[in-house]
Amino acid sequence: MMRHMQLTPLFVKSVPRALDPGILYVSMEYGTVVHSCCCGCGQEVVTPLTPTDWKLTFDGEAISLWPSVGNWNLPCRSHYVIKGNRVIEAGSWDKAKIEAEQRRDKSAKAQFYGKSAELVTPPQKEIQEPVESVQHEVEKGVWGKLLNWFR
Torsion of CA 117, 115, 109, 84, to 10 degrees: 100
Residue 85 placed within a domain: yes
Is 125 a member of any domain? Answer: no
Q: Classify each residue of 27-65 as buried b or exposed e, where b means 16 or more C-beta atoms within 10 Å of its C-beta.
A: beeeebbbbbbbbeeeeebebebeeebbebeeeeeebeb
pLDDT band at 149 (very low <50, low <70, confident <90, very high): low
Is residue 72 a part of any domain in this protein?
yes
- Of residues 3, 149, 151, the one with CA closest to residue 76: 3
Which has the minimum average pLDDT: 47-51, 56-60, 65-69, 129-133? Answer: 129-133
75 in a domain, yes or no? yes
Q: Give the chain's domain count.
A: 1
Distance CA 85, CA 61 (A): 9
> Which of 14-18, 26-30, 93-97, 141-145 has the weakest average pLDDT?
141-145
φ and ψ at residue 119, rounded to 5 degrees: -70, -35
pLDDT over threshold 90, residue 134: no
Q: Quick one: average pLDDT of 62-70? A: 96
Quote the pLDDT of residue 1: 73
Residue 82 lies in a domain: yes
Range of the domain at 25: 8-92
pLDDT tier, 114 (very low <50, low <70, confident <90, very high otherwise): confident
Q: Whole-model pTM?
A: 0.72
104 in a structural domain: no
Is 64 contained in some domain? yes
123 domain residue, yes or no: no
